[in-house]
Amino acid sequence: MAATRPTWISVIAAAGLAIATPALAQKSAGAIRFAYDQAPENVDPFFNNVRIGVIIGANVWDTLIYRDPNTNEYKGQLATSWKQIDDKTIEFELRQGVKFHNGEEFDADDVVYTLNFVSKPENKVVTQGNVNWIGAAEKLDKYKVRLTTKEVFPAAIEYLAGPVVIHPNEYYEKVGPKGQNEKPVGSGPYKVSNYVPGKSITLEANKDYFKDSPKSQAKVGKVEIRFIPDRQTQMAEALSGGVDMIMHVPKDQADQLKTVPTLQVVSGETMRIVFMQLNALENSPAPALRDERVRKAIIHAIDRESMVKNIVGDGSRVLNTICFPSQFGCTDEGAARYPYDPAKARALLAEAGVKDLTLDILAYRERNQTEALIGYLQQVGIKTNLRFLQYAAMREQISTNKAMLTHQTWGSFSVNDVSASTPNYFAFRTEDITRDAAVRDLLVKGNNSVAPDVRKEAYKGALKIIADKAYAVPLYSLPVYYVADKNLNFKAYPDELVRFWEMTWK
């Protein structure tokens, strides 16, 4: 970490007069300029699972239900009310007078088409866990819909208030996910006015946004989002006034920027968990990882407490299981613990007869944290080759069984339920590189049981097996450091959503 400090001191000094004069022209023009280090693979929220795509989705599209991030209360958005008819059936009364950005009127046809389309496996929604619980949607009248779940699924309302957005049926039926990516059309507080894949996307306030939405009308007329993979370029842009806001800034750089008078630094814990996957499949490209002792050695090799304190920063905590503590069903009770113990790690490797082990490690963000992990593994005799990729490329490597180790994060689409986290990696989905049937069965039971106590016990059992067999390395929760122009009013939320529609300039 020390090597980066002189670099950023010199960058701050070199910015000179640019630091002293904020970009007032942008503010008077009513724009927010935001930079992010990843580009969405598809702007259609169902065909993306990188965080910037989730952020764009929340600003451009609406959902049937809205969860208030301050109170966690569910409120009607495209639905005005809903009623649980039985364990697997919910009926929705829909809002009248809403229009999509292309002028198409919102009604039951949009809800029915969207839900039935995304629930079909052949349509290949990227994160199946967000939609594979949907059985069928049917129209009862123009503004009334019945939704049936495949099994009992108590978390349905939470998903309908999160990743399950509603598309305009006529447009979507015509253009599909490809066209929705090229020319996105939603009903949200912002509409897309320009999109250059991999480069930038421009949002403009939707002046016809419906007044009764729990989301407010957009207060700033334009949001310009640029995809800038290089962190130093982002930082230089923030210092010179070239962008108004960036996020996921490393702790050491954020600490330095607190001294810059034109900027503000805001941080806080999020629901995002950080972990390492270990490929324990029968045909793993790293056969050594099939040995439980090797997997346990890897966990003992990493000083998670030190990483939280020195690298990750305020708002982070060490995790012992693969879920976020606030999620329903998340617990580390009874699960194995692996304190930092490099001597034990070396002893376990020796006991397993492993020498000169070299592993590829895949990562896609927080490179400084990946490098720290590599350093800890090296100290116990495990060499690594770092392959730093875009998220979609990393996920493809995992799903095709080419990954050995991964260092990655998961924000659960901000869904506060274990069904949105652990099953994605341990319920025999495309990114499961352990495939333990006992774990899968417990997760399925937790997802589809009506009794809360039964759900909790099932999730607890699955999480215990994962920990006891060292199928993965739970690391810590990830705080987000935002760096923004000091005159930008915004709030950082634990769900890691950037709500542009709330923002104002002082």
As a whole number of angstroms, the distance between CA 164 and CA 63 comes to 6
Task: Please give the chain's pLDDT, 506 residues, in tens.
Answer: 333 444 544 555 444 434 444 444 445 458 999 999 999 989 999 999 889 999 999 999 999 999 999 998 999 999 999 999 999 999 999 999 999 999 999 999 999 999 999 999 999 999 999 999 999 999 999 999 999 999 999 999 999 999 999 999 999 999 999 999 999 999 999 999 999 999 999 999 999 999 999 999 999 999 999 999 998 999 999 999 999 999 999 999 999 999 999 999 999 889 999 999 999 999 999 999 999 999 999 999 999 999 999 999 988 999 999 999 999 999 999 999 999 999 999 999 999 999 999 999 999 999 999 999 999 999 999 999 999 998 989 999 999 999 999 999 999 988 999 999 999 999 999 999 999 999 999 999 999 998 999 999 999 999 999 999 999 999 999 999 999 999 999 999 989 999 999 999 99
Q: Letter for the amino acid at 163?
A: P
Pairing, β 357-363 against β 382-388: parallel
Own/partner contacts of 373-377, CB < 8 Å, gap of 24 or more, are 373/276, 373/302, 373/407, 376/301, 376/302, 376/303, 376/342, 377/298, 377/301, 377/302
221/207 Cα distance (integer angstroms): 9
Which distant-in-sequence residues (6+ apart) come within 8 Å of 439 by Cβ? 426, 427, 462, 465, 466, 471
Query: CB atoms < 10 A from the CB of 153, how many?
Result: 22
**H helices of 352-436, where?**
367-379, 391-399, 422-426
CA 136/CA 450 separation, integer angstroms? 19
Q: Are 488 and 471 in contact (CB under 8 A)?
A: no
Say if residue 396 is exposed, middle or buried (CB neighbours under 10 Å; 0-12, 13-18, 19+): middle
> Tokens at residue 499, please?
């709500």
Phi-psi region of 473 (alpha: psi -120 to 50; beta: other; left: phi over 0): beta
CA distance 307 to 305: 5
Helix and strand totals (H; E) in the chain: 17, 18
Q: How far apart are CA 468 and CA 77, in angstroms?
A: 43
Distance CA 147, CA 171 (A): 22
Q: Which helix (H) or strand (E) holds 166?
A: none
**Short-list 437, 403, 387, 379, CA closest to 285:** 403
pLDDT in tens, 126-173: 999 999 999 999 999 999 999 999 999 999 999 999 999 999 999 999
- Cβ proximity of 275 and 473 under 8 Å: yes
Whole-number pLDDT of residue 18: 44
Q: What residue ranges define each of the domains in the chain, with the CATH number in brackets? A: 28-61+186-268+480-505 (3.40.190.10), 65-179 (3.90.76.10), 269-478 (3.10.105.10)
Measured between alpha carbons, how far is 6 from 233 in angstroms, rounded to an integer?
16
